[in-house]
A and B are shown apart, each in its own frame.
Chain A
Amino acid sequence: MSAATTLLEQVLNGLTIGMVYVLLAAGLSIIFGVMDVINFAHGEFFALGAYVGLSVALATGSGGFWVALLVAPLLVGLVGAGVERFTIRPLYGRNPLYHILLTFGLVLIFKDVITLIWGQQPYQFAKPPLLSGTVTLFGFDYALYSYFVIGIGALIALGTWLALTRTRYGLVIRAGSMDRDMVRYLGIDIDRYYTIVFAFGAMLAAVGGVVLAGRQNVAPGMGNAVIIPAFIVVVLGGLGSFRGAVVGGLLIGVIQTFVRSQFPFLEGLAVFLLMIAVLLLRPQGLFGNPEWGTGGEGGDLLTAGDADVFDSALKRRIGVGLVGVLAVTPLLIGLPSYYVNTLVVNILIWALFALSLDFVMGYAGLVSLGHVLFYGVGAYATVLAVMHLVPSLFVALAVGIAVSAVIAWVVGYLSIRVSGVYFSMITLAFAELFFSAVFKLEWAGSSDGLFGFDPVYGLFAGPSVGSIELVGGVSVFYYVVLAAVVGSYLLARQVMRAPFGSVLQAIRESELRTGFIGYDVTVYKRRAFVVSGGLAGLAGGLAAVQTGGVSPEFLAWIRSGEVIVMTILGGMGTLYGPMLGAGVYLVSKELLLGITEQWQGVLGLIFVLFVIFVPRGLVSLPGLLAGRFDRSPGGGTDVLAEEETEVTD
């Protein structure tokens, strides 16, 4: 094959996958533009489309593909309408973070529902005979199915564009994405359009799922695999811009294909570098306009700080008591040491991780979606230090903290100047960049990770006198972790009580006002980010030692999601809330694992209910039950009250 035809083939391959991205990103982007919702569950609509299509096709026999192409999107659209109506709708008017959280919970639910119905095994979707084989155009052979994907994607994009520009609904939706309140002031009930927009977005994603199913396997992870690229497309094109979604989707598709064949060492990295560059240089993306829409401002983060009802003396007593119990736990009961060595240690480590996130999210209002980066970097740095540098665990952990803090400084330096949703996106991009990068790095163990270093100092044996184990098989490491977590908590508390902490909280309340008083807001945020990164690094380092090694899993975005879930579950803005959240999350997981395979879905459901009904987390529950605390100020039921706070004249 000549160079020209190779290039042509790559471009066509890129456009094929790019069209699928367009179908995903178009809905994602319009949904964000109109209702400020960042929908992490969009990838699950895509997967659901493929699965439903599969079942429809099987049930209808020959010609089933065409029926599936029609019916699956409609069914998924219905699901989307239900999701909007019953879960998204109660949260309008709150900070967009809550939609991110909610849809993350929905991802867990959808995933488990899909495996519950269709199982874990991958399926093959039979292409209709009409679309099999290759065609020759201008003396060039290429798969007919790819032409079909490109064609149908183009057709749908065109149709969507026409609907947006030529119909009454489209016009109102576009106006709403620019200035929602003004649309209301013209007497139009924009809220009624939200269900339609959301359902339509879900339909487009489902079409993408069906057509991609004709090209590759249908498997449970397929939603997870496309959601991050789809976000990149949306950010690149400009949040809320349909044109941006189309151009961005095709561009990303082509770039990915091209990089894979020409610069394989950059595969997986290039798009994240591109996304970071775009966010830094032109946060509004290629076609977004910073003056249109809100960029996701508005609505407070609901912290638990003012919702908690216990006085500090009582809290101190509970805290000291808890640490005391933890310290003697191994001695006391007949608890199998397995629980102490794994579950309790895990809880402590995740508690530390959640604490580190809360430090920036709950106190400085920085919603980091990529916090796993610092956790993972800490883990890698610790392991590498033990393997190559010093045989001391403590020095290695210190190295992990330091490296994470430095990375946090760099990331913070670059990203803290962009605000709100863009900050969240850029942290996600950095985390994904590192995640992709470790696969390429020989010295970081590539996809296998690094295992088999020496458990130093006999930490994993219990202290013993002769042959008698002193604390029932619980390792010394348990105490190391306990000390690290308690120490970090005390440190964080000290920082928050110092003037530094007061400034941070003032920033969260009103960044503008704090700036006016004369504080350099960015500097404070950056410092908080470094401290938080260091703490997350310590958590990662401890986790690596606990695991006996480190693998790319340590950098997977799902962990960022999990730590956010824990933080919200417990109640952000209190240092102990997120730690409690970590405990409850992991214990629930442990208990559910014993009962059902669908533990993720159940946990997701609990979480969704929490986000809707108890946004201030577990620590607000006592007050809530006592009826002392309002459930959700600005929580969507009272549209008027919410508008009063939203509008700035």
Chain B
Amino acid sequence: MSDGDPLLRLDGVRAGYGETQVLDGVSLDVNRGETVALIGRNGVGKTTTLRTILGAVTPTAGTVRYDGEDVTGLGPIETVRRGVGLVPEERRVFPGLTVEENLAVGRYGGSETANRRDPEEVLETFENLGRRRRSRGTDLSGGEQQMLAIGRALVAGADLLLLDEPTEGLAPLIVDRVSELIREINEEGITVLLVEQNVAVALSLADRVYILDRGRVVFEGAPAELEANESVMERHLGVTV
């Protein structure tokens, strides 16, 4: 294993739920220190890709390698203990626990990586969370919940952060705050794999972009390349720039 190897490599991954196949041979790389965006229309399998990386879905074919090792089928607990962190769709903050307690659960789990943050550190850097440390998860605004979900993954010691639509349903001002936060996190050395519906946010943050369509990777390249390629944007994302 050398630093030149990608931190994460998916190779021909097929996966699904019971009878329905969702991923039809997905291959992608995420290098150390990168921010990679995975975009695509509704229901093409973005979340399933993240769940497969985490080990919550077991692929029927193909391999997932993390940090040079085969982690296919290890399951979420072991995968997380190796340094993968998930900020799931809908955030899934523990609703009845306070902000502090949510972070503490992350502290008890996760892995002892160099990137592992202290709950206090998170409460200081995410100053609006610091102000609400004793509020329950349910009582937070959408933006605060998103911050907390990200903070919880940092406290769990993620080296590779899987973010599933972190800006969904947030007001424009908050979207900017969250994207700024993601940029900072990446600058501090955490590798990011970002799933986004908001193409503008994805392109502004990412070093490289993958487009997923019906379970296959149909585009890979730099954001600028994608912006220049209107036909791809239209065909696979349904957006005109």
Contact = CB atoms under 8 A, between A and B. Distances in A.
A186 interface: yes
Interface stretch (B52-60, B177-185, B215-223, B230-238): B52-60
A331 interface: no
Given A187-B77, A644-B58, A292 B18 contact: no
A66 to B, nearest CB: 36
A172 interface: yes
A229 to B, nearest CB: 26
B95 A291 contact: yes
Interface stretch (A44-52, A176-184, A505-513): A176-184
Contact of B96 (A174, A645, A649): A174
B197 interface: no
A185 interface: yes
Nearest to B58: A640
Interface string A618-649: 00000000000000000000011101110101
B88 A185 contact: yes
A523 interface: no
Given A289-B96, A291-B95, A641-B58, A185 B108 contact: no
Interface residues of A, number: 27
A648 to B, nearest CB: 10
B67 interface: no
Given A174-B97, A640-B55, A184 B76 contact: yes
Contacts of B102: 175
A452 B104 CA distance: 69
A186 B106 contact: yes
B161 interface: no
B152 interface: yes
Contact of B95 (A172, A178, A186, A188): A178
A188 B77 contact: yes
B12 interface: no
A172 B104 CA distance: 9
A641 to B, nearest CB: 7
A592 B25 CA distance: 58
Interface string A155-189: 00000000000001001101100110111111111
Contacts of B97: 171, 174-175, 178
A189 B76 CA distance: 9
B130 interface: no
Interface centre among B58, B77, B88, B156 (most CB of A within 10 A): B77
Binding site secondary structure of chain A: helix
Given A175-B105, A186-B109, A645 B95 contact: no
A187 B95 contact: no
Interface residues on B, range: 35 or more
Contact of A185 (B18, B54, B57, B95): B54
A184 B77 contact: yes
Nearest to B102: A175
A645 B18 contact: yes
Contact of B104 (A171, A179, A647): A171
B89 interface: yes
Contacts of A643: 56-57, 76
A242 to B, nearest CB: 11
A644 B138 contact: no
Contact of B105 (A181, A188, A292, A645): A188
Contacts of A183: 105, 109
A179 B94 CA distance: 7
A647 B75 contact: no
Most B CB atoms within 10 A — which of A178, A187, A289? A187
A647 B58 CA distance: 13
B94 A175 contact: yes
Given A178-B96, A185-B54, A172 B105 contact: yes
Nearest to A648: B17
A184 B75 CA distance: 9
B105 A187 contact: no
B70 to A, nearest CB: 16
Nearest to B137: A178
Nearest to B104: A171
Contact of B110 (A181, A186, A645): A186
Interface string B97-134: 10001101110111100000000000000000000000
Interface string B77-91: 100110000101100
B92 A187 contact: no
A643 B52 CA distance: 12
Nearest to A177: B96
11 contacts: A171-B101, A175-B102, A178-B97, A179-B92, A182-B94, A183-B109, A187-B76, A188-B108, A188-B109, A640-B75, A644-B57
Given A174-B94, A186-B80, A645-B18, 19 more contacts: A168-B104, A171-B97, A171-B105, A174-B96, A175-B101, A178-B94, A182-B88, A183-B105, A185-B80, A186-B152, A187-B76, A188-B105, A188-B109, A289-B96, A292-B95, A640-B57, A643-B76, A644-B57, A644-B58
